[in-house]
Amino acid sequence: MKPAHSGLALLVGTLLLLAPGGALPTPAEAETRAPREVWRVAVHSAIQPAVAEYLKRVLGEADQARAEALVIELDTPGGLMSSTEDITTAMLKASTPVVVYVAPRGAHAASAGFFILMAADIAAMAPNTATGAAAAVGPQGEELAETLKKKVSEDSRARIRSLAKDRGRNAELAEQAVAEARSFSAQEALQGRLVELVADDFAALVGQLEGRKVMKAGAPERALAVTGAPVHVAEMTRLERLLAILATPDIAFLLLSFGGLGLMAELYNPGSVLPGVLGAIFLVLAFLGLSVLPVSAAGVALIFLALIFFIAEIKVTSYGLLTVAGVLCLALGGMMLMRSSEPAFEVSRSLIAGVALSALAVAGTLAWLAWKARSRPVSTGQEGLKGRRAEARTALDPRGKVFVHGELWNAEAEQRVEAGETVEILSVEDLVLKVRPVRGAPAVS
């Protein structure tokens, strides 16, 4: 039996050697030939810390998974330079080739987005998209002082030149986007050698990536093999998604304002519980979002000053002056809340107006209720007994007992009152009711 088995093994080995490709592939060769995944992420928002943490995590996971390429689909009005630097640094360190694709049609990669595009191993754009406009301005969008402007501009120009040269792109044209706030369409960027590809959609992009050579730091140049590769969509985690929503200036302003109004309603009506609980939750969420945003301390202070004015209006009769002051502080606080030049980090003016009017309505309603409560006759305690009617349980000559509010009181009458008659309470002195008879009045039940 052994010679037969040996002959069969020899025959099979010979056939394998004579087959196309020769010998059996080694494990390393088999791994190389197997198609690796193309990872895909979408960033359609301002560049802020939550987005930076998301992209850094995905870049690390793509490296561990040995992805063939990572495609970042980008549509952003700009963002924070600190977050942009975190993203570009992670992109440069990653071992996975990074493709930044400005898409879909109508999208743009402005300001901070332009830096991310230039940091890509392969830069691509969809038709009818734009990029550029990365000039330096002040925190509120104002022109910087000459010395500071030169310093910031030179730093940004050096950074964009370095990124463009490192990727073999047109450094002079890239610098114009920073120095002159110049923008480029997809075709202009392609002709000017700012991007390598213009693709209609993701499928077309993958088709153009096939065979394109890339070189990562510390690794030899290699050609991308993406045809037929499975696509892995890397989405945000629930926590990252929550933080990204909370880090939206409009949402942070709403939570801060309504949180304060909830606490104000609780202070006005202690024990109502729900407004206070909701207000506290809103404030915690607001501070969570504001913790990663470029917040102005003056803006936050003005918003809290507005809430103090609203609360004071309930306690102090100012004929509406404190409410008006509170509305003005709230509006100014909203406009000054974000300390950033990017339009994406400005609180919407229409939202500020809506919140200010809502606060005016709430504060006005609470103030009216407080005034109404103060002007209402006292119905409890000794003061609440004045003007009430009682029943004489004993004869009053001049003193005796009367029954009122379910209680027996000592009473003193100006003239004799027989038991069972109705009396009116004039005042309360030393726990003795001063009363007078009400002739012909029905008995008090």
Start-to-end C-alpha separation, the chain: 120
Q: What is the pLDDT of residues 65-87, one digit of tens each?
A: 999 999 999 999 888 888 999 99
Give the span between the Cα atoms of 434 and 417, in whole angstroms: 12
Question: Exposed e or buried b for every residue in 374-406, given b needs 16+ CB within 10 A?
Answer: eeeeeeeeeeebeeebbbbeebbeeebbbebee
Q: What is the pLDDT of residues 105-133, one digit of tens each?
A: 999 999 899 999 999 999 999 999 999 87
Q: Which residues pair with 43 in a beta bridge?
A: 74
Q: Give me the chain's average pLDDT, please.
A: 82
Q: In this model, does residue 16 exceed pLDDT 50?
A: no
Q: What is the pLDDT of residues 151-161, one digit of tens each?
A: 657 878 889 99
Q: Which residues pair with 429 in a beta bridge?
A: 432
326 pLDDT band (50/70/90 cuts)? confident
Question: Bigger pLDDT: 296 or 89?
Answer: 89
Please give the pLDDT value at position 194.
94
Instruction: Give the mean pLDDT of 232-261.
Output: 88
